[in-house]
């Protein structure tokens, strides 16, 4: 099991279908899922969070899946990001156009969740990690995923693996509320029991270790946690 869960971005305006797919991918594949219901918000999330793979509905409101792919491929950070197009269209032309604009696979609806999972796994096995920023900053905090190190205002902060994974996930998805169930999935293979209470304890300890910067991690009552994006997430190149 990798120390960092792979993330699947689901862009689908049928919320019931998106929730079903997300639940299946978490339960059977161990993936963390992000859901957007239109192309504009999906593209913004893709650029910000750099998911490992995108499940993309062809017929999206506002922006078609083909246009989404074109714009995704124009960005150097997302040009190689795997995309599986989902569509109720069975016409060969739709499949051809989808592949021409950069989709890696095309799955027609209705589909088997198991088959979709196998297709995702097959693509991720043959495609290297898609250009995720390995070292990035959010506010005063600098996170190095490869070295598992965290600095606040240039000072090294000692975190447990669980605390590091919590922080990296919250920062990677800054601005999005992650519920406790999603966070529990991230620590379920640790020796510490993954319960909602355990998540709360880890976040409390993490905030304390981060000091003033810990205030960027906010509690969303009755749901979970989010990390403020201000003054913004940006790659560290030096």
Residue linked to tokens 């079903």: 20
Domain with CATH 1.10.10.10 in the chain: 135-235
Q: Where in the chain is the domain with CATH 3.40.50.2300?
A: 7-126
112: Cβ contacts below 8 Å, ≥ 6 apart: none
pLDDT in tens, the chain (238 residues): 333 578 999 999 999 999 999 999 999 998 989 999 999 999 888 888 888 999 999 888 888 888 999 898 888 778 888 999 998 877 777 778 888 888 888 898 999 999 999 999 988 887 655 445 567 778 889 888 777 789 998 899 998 877 888 898 888 777 788 888 777 766 554 444 456 677 888 899 899 999 999 999 999 988 899 988 654 444 444 3
Cα distance between residue 78 and residue 51, in whole Å: 9
**Cα–Cα distance measured from residue 108 to residue 4, given in angstroms and rounded to the nearest whole number:** 30
Q: How far apart are CA 231 and CA 217, in angstroms?
A: 13
3-class state of residue 171 by DSSP: helix
What pTM value is reported for the model? 0.56
At the top level of CATH, the class of 7-126 is alpha beta
The arrangement of secondary structure in 135-235, i.e. its CATH architecture, is Orthogonal Bundle (1.10)
What is d(CA 154, CA 157) in angstroms, rounded to the nearest whole number?
9
């Amino acid at each position: 099991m990798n120390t960092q869960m792979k993330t699947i971005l689901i862009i689908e305006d049928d919320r019931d279908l998106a929730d079903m797919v997300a639940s299946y991918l978490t339960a059977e594949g161990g993936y963390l899922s992000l859901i957007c219901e239109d192309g504009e918000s999906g593209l913004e999330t893709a650029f910000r969070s750099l998911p490992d793979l995108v499940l993309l509905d062809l017929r999206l409101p506002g922006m078609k899946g083909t246009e989404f792919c074109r714009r995704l491929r124009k960005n150097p950070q997302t040009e190689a990001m795997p995309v599986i197009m989902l569509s109720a269209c069975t016409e060969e032309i739709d499949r051809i156009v989808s592949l021409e604009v950069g989709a890696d696979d095309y799955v027609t609806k209705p589909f088997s969740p198991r088959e979709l999972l196998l297709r995702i796994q097959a693509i991720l096995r043959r495609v290297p990690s898609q250009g995720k920023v390995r070292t990035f900053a959010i506010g005063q905090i600098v996170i190095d995923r490869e070295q598992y190190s965290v600095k606040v205002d240039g000072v090294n902060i000692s975190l447990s693996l669980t605390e590091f994974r919590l922080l990296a996930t919250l920062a990677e998805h800054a601005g999005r509320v992650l519920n406790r169930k999603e966070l529990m999935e991230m620590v379920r293979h640790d020796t510490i029991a993954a319960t909602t209470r355990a998540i709360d304890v880890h976040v409390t300890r993490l905030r304390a270790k981060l000091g003033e910067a810990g205030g960027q991690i906010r509690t969303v009552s009755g749901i979970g946690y989010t990390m403020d994006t201000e003054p913004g997430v940006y790659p560290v190149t030096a």
